[in-house]
Chain A
């Protein structure tokens, strides 16, 4: 191992608590009884220079979602790197339920790496899975996230979302005004990339269901207009140029249509544009504000927010239905907004302000059949919730010490983490679909 890297790793461990805030996710709340797992540092075989610590990436992933507790490296009794070196009794003694070991091999003068890993159930003394992944030395984070996906699925039965990405908007003060950026990063905020930079606001990023495109609102012409950009190539096209507000683009589940908000007929209403024929269909028709459309999982109805009764509430309308045929979904809040169904089509994520007296906004889930509400967050300016592709967590924007930051909370509200943000106001997270 590169001695410099080793030194860095030691320093990071020493400076663990507050200094780590900028480098890694902060876990603000976890489950009471996390699953103990030992992730042994992967052995290095041959010449592998400049590679990131795969085992650390895996254990960070698993701890960030709160359900796991990784054994501290100082407590390791042995450092196995393959099955023949594993003595289950050691790990039972350390009260570990699971064990991950592996090795990284490369050859001098080559960027190619080969990562072998094996995952064990300590109590059943059983190898659950073993695999070899190959790639470039710069892809160690991808490899680590991929291994974390496998471990997570082996233990929880749910597909891991560690290789997913997020989109978000950053606003940063600049010499002459504000600089706005649309960025893409790993789910944990690492490896950020700028997709669009502008001196005018950027809003409402939304992934296409296949993860190849992003729809967003940009004010670059001095007016809010909707664009779709190919993420890999950066190629973009303007989708709308109607008078007034053009906002809130949301891809249909099949990716063929885009729900949006246009105020061209006087007040904001919901429309759906067919992305192949460009045919525009009006969905709602009301003089009040109708906005924040989202699709029901079957793609047949639109959920939206309207202040037609005076304050924002959530409604649903079937596509093709008369604009009078609107079903109101929420009654028990002063304001309920920005709603989107979980894949079950019954539980609705939304932003909730309980009473007029306290102008405080939180992320909540309402079951529209039982009307049971679970409020997931306890800060006061929480908005823009976005669901992980495996349905396990919701990322949202909030304020921390006066700055916009991204937080995530598990859908049972038990686990929370905050993403690092170096500078500026970070907002409007959009969690990608599964990308592989």
Chain B
């Protein structure tokens, strides 16, 4: 993972925390955001002067989603799994919020079927994610797509389990 995107995430986290602080200051009990309540059940004030409540649940979830860089596909299927939709939307929002960020979508296939067809299938998978990221706010110029087909398997072997690991799209920072 590139260091640049790390700093960007941290910077935006801090900004978000500050806004929450401001909100807490003005309206004490009116409508405490669920995230704040969850993450600071009892502000024991362990950190002395710097009473940072830490990341909120929402922020932790965002970080978890952004940390997911590999998306797996079913056999003979070019569409990403429905369960990855939210995570990919978070990636798209992160790209939209950080216009300098550049990523590469690397598409892969398992070894069944001919090599050239798998090269095309890998691209089709990556393009599916590309389009979803754009619809969700990323800009086309931020994303490069490349397919490796079956040439760079993650897992060697001819088992179903290995094949499942190899049908994937990876998000790589540039």
Contacts and interface: CB of A to CB of B under 8 A. Distances in A.
Output the residue of A178, A224, A353, A427 with the most chain B CB within 10 A: A224
A406 interface: no
Contacts of B121: 289
A223 interface: yes
15 contacts: A171-B151, A203-B115, A219-B151, A222-B146, A223-B146, A247-B119, A263-B123, A267-B124, A289-B117, A289-B124, A307-B117, A359-B75, A359-B112, A384-B115, A427-B115
Given A335-B113, A402-B156, A201 B120 contact: no
Contact of B117 (A201, A305, A402): A305
Contact of A203 (B119, B145, B157): B119
Summarize A's interface: helix, strand, loop or mixed.
Answer: strand
Output the residue of A248, A351, A383 with the most chain B CB within 10 A: A383
Given A201-B151, A201-B152, A381-B112, A245 B119 contact: yes
Interface string B19-52: 0000000000000000000000000000000000
A312 interface: yes
Given A245-B123, A245-B147, A289-B117, 16 more contacts: A171-B151, A201-B151, A203-B149, A204-B116, A224-B147, A244-B123, A245-B120, A247-B119, A289-B121, A291-B116, A305-B116, A305-B117, A335-B113, A338-B114, A381-B158, A402-B157
A407 interface: no
A291 B117 CA distance: 7
A289 B120 contact: yes
A337 B113 contact: yes
A261 B116 contact: yes
A171 B149 CA distance: 14
A248 B121 CA distance: 14
A361 interface: yes
A171 B115 CA distance: 14
B148 interface: yes
B117 A292 contact: yes
A351 B114 CA distance: 8
A247 B152 contact: no
Output the residue of B75, B117, B123 with the most chain A CB within 10 A: B117
Contacts of A224: 119, 146-147
A381 B123 CA distance: 22
A29 interface: no
Contacts of A338: 114, 116
A66 interface: no
A268 B120 contact: yes
A204 B112 contact: no
Interface string B41-81: 00000000000000000000000000000000001000000
A249 B79 CA distance: 28
Contacts of A223: 146
B116 A247 contact: yes
Contacts of A351: 114
Interface in A91-136: none
A10 B114 CA distance: 43
A197 interface: no
Output the residue of A267, A268, A338 with the most chain B CB within 10 A: A268
Interface string A309-325: 00010000000000000
B169 to A, nearest CB: 15
Interface string A145-180: 000000000000000000000000001000000100
A338 B145 CA distance: 25
Contacts of B112: 359, 361, 381
A337 B145 contact: no
B117 A337 contact: yes
Contacts of B149: 203
Nearest to B174: A222
Output the residue of A245, A353, A381 with the most chain B CB within 10 A: A245
Output the residue of A263, A351, A361, A427 with the most chain B CB within 10 A: A263
Interface in A385-403: 399, 402
Contacts of A248: 116
The list of the 6 closest CB pairs from A to B, nearest first, reads A201-B151, A289-B120, A337-B114, A291-B116, A268-B120, A338-B114
Contacts of B116: 203-204, 247-248, 261, 291-292, 305, 338
A186 interface: no
Interface in B107-131: 111-117, 119-121, 123-124
A383 B150 CA distance: 13
Nearest to B122: A245
A428 interface: yes
Nearest to A289: B120
Nearest to A263: B123
Nearest to B148: A201
Contacts of B151: 171, 201, 203, 219
Contacts of A267: 120, 124
A76 B96 CA distance: 82
B75 to A, nearest CB: 8
Interface in A195-227: 201, 203-204, 219, 222-224
A289 B158 CA distance: 25
Contacts of B124: 267, 289
A363 to B, nearest CB: 11
A292 B120 CA distance: 10
